[in-house]
Structure 1
Amino acid sequence: MTKLSVNINKVATLRNARGGNNPDLLKVAKDCERFGAQGITVHPRPDERHIRYNDVYELRSLLTTEFNIEGYPSEEFVKLVCEVKPNQVTLVPDKPDQLTSNAGWDTEKYLDFLMDIAAHFHEKKFRVSFFVSADKRMIEFSKRAGADRVELYTEPYAATYVQNPEVAITDFLEAATYAKEIGLGLNAGHDLSLHNLRYFHQQIPWLDEVSIGHALICDALYLGLKETIHQYLACLQD
């Protein structure tokens, strides 16, 4: 079964807008688990504009499902991950001031760098995933660098899906099939939503995990968090 990991960055953004602790990030994370989500994802950035480093430490002691920490492997980030000990660390090539993740790693160009980071995290017994585009060469070099999984950057799929789902899925199906053939686990994330998730999963049913934040939190404003999570889970159970 494909797991749903809820990215709670947007909850932290709302909290930080006014200071204080409303909404309560820790309560939302626990509620996501209680309503059926099988994981929680956070992406702490250096400016702490949403998830704060302290949030990550506090979440670790509360969560009972999989904890996924994603981010650029700076010295500070690596230290945080090693101290918190998540189930999975997802490496993304974001610049410090970047608004959101908008590209995957060039795993061929950064092969040695990623290989060293992956080896370090493997010593700590963490699963390592690389955020990559739906490109067979980037997936091949992810394997060479020591990744356990790749997370497919799905914004191009979401952008094309409205016009032509079959065209939108083509590169992703090819990339996902190749990842499976070479023994890599498969995650996906970025702009997946209630509109496009079911089809994506139907075409690639061997997905290990989807990480969804922005769309899910937006849907929760209308549907409520419990119903929203149930609807996303339903998309993954067909």
Structure 2
Amino acid sequence: MTTPSSLTALSVNLNKVALVRNTRHLGIPSVLRAATLCLQAGATGITVHPRPDERHIRAHDVHDLAALLSSDWPQVEFNIEGNPFHNLMDFVRACRPHQATFVPDSETQSTSDHGWSFPSDAERLRPLIAETQALGVRVSLFMDPIPEMMAAVKAVGADRVELYTEGYAASRGSARAPEVLARYAETARAAQAAGLEVNAGHDLSRDNLTDFLRAVQGVKEVSIGHAFVADALELGYAATTRDYLRCIDEAQAAK
């Protein structure tokens, strides 16, 4: 299955499936089974964020998913997220996913909570971006919605940015919401004007995804994990996948 180029791709982040599995030693719920059910229902990507402490996704999960996608789902994008100064590059070199998303998280924080900063991060990122691209892997940098930084992201060699969307999600229903959403739209335009493609992720959900995609034009991919797995606990993987695809379709229909 393929996604038309005009549509935003849905990449399902499986971290929280692994987190539940790791509380026991039974191997359930299965990360591979979750990936398969989501892909059968129409998801077009799989994302994992393996942290050094293996609190959720473990090294074998990354390799097992790479093997599954390569053999059974070659058209599906595999996105590995992480800090390139911790353990991410080992997975990039071994698995050569379609995309590596560089995230500046510390080893102890519970989840990603900020993007890279330019120009301060530029020189240390540059050689790792070049190495990753030499392996045939697209590089996306996790970024806050700061339009002024987009040209610097392009200058350092990245292919995409992933807009960190917690600020958007947290602003919903507040007086600041229109201003915050406009900032994301402005950042996406600045990225695209600089020659970058745009992804988005963090705290996107069925409640806020359509409005985000209506306002922020040209988003190539959304990566959704926490809300997706929470929904799947109630609806199942397949129904949850289809409902997120509905949100994407509704945003597209409004354009």
The alignment's TM-score, normalised by the length of structure 1, stands at 0.97
**Shift >6 Å, 4+ stretches:** none
Map residues 25-64 of structure 1 onto 2, 5 A cutoff.
25-63=31-69, 64=73
Partner of 1:159: 170
What SS does structure 1 have at the residue aligned with 2:185? helix
CA contact (8 A) 2:14 2:48 kept: yes
Map residues 69-218 of structure 1 onto 2, 5 A cutoff.
69-74=80-85, 76-164=87-175, 165-218=177-230
Partner of 2:235: 223
Say if 1:117 and 1:160 are closer, same or farther in 2 by CA, change over 3 A: same
CA contact (8 A) 1:107 1:114 kept: no
After TM superposition, give the deviation of residue 74 of structure 1 in Å: 2.6
Partner of 2:77: 66
CA contact (8 A) 2:10 2:44 kept: yes
After TM superposition, give the deviation of residue 75 of structure 1 in Å: 5.7
- Gaps of at least 5 residues in structure 1 are none
CA distance in structure 2 between the partners assigned to 1:163 and 1:90 by the alignment:
30
Partner of 1:4: 10
For residues 28-56 of structure 1, the C-alpha deviation after alignment (integer angstroms, 9 at most, x for no partner) is 11111111100000000000000001110
What SS does structure 1 have at the residue aligned with 2:50? coil
After TM superposition, give the deviation of residue 117 of structure 1 in Å: 0.8
CA distance in structure 1 between the partners assigned to 2:166 and 2:213 by the alignment:
15
CA RMSD of aligned residues (A): 1.1
CA contact (8 A) 1:2 1:205 kept: no
CA distance in structure 2 between the partners assigned to 1:77 and 1:4 by the alignment:
22
The alignment's TM-score, normalised by the length of structure 2, stands at 0.91
CA distance in structure 1 between the partners assigned to 2:217 and 2:249 by the alignment:
9
CA contact (8 A) 1:158 1:168 kept: no
Partner of 2:29: 23
CA distance in structure 2 between the partners assigned to 1:151 and 1:76 by the alignment:
19
After TM superposition, give the deviation of residue 163 of structure 1 in Å: 2.0
**Mean alpha-carbon deviation: is it higher for 212-221 or for 165-174?**
165-174
- Percent identity, aligned pairs only, is 45
After TM superposition, give the deviation of residue 229 of structure 1 in Å: 0.9
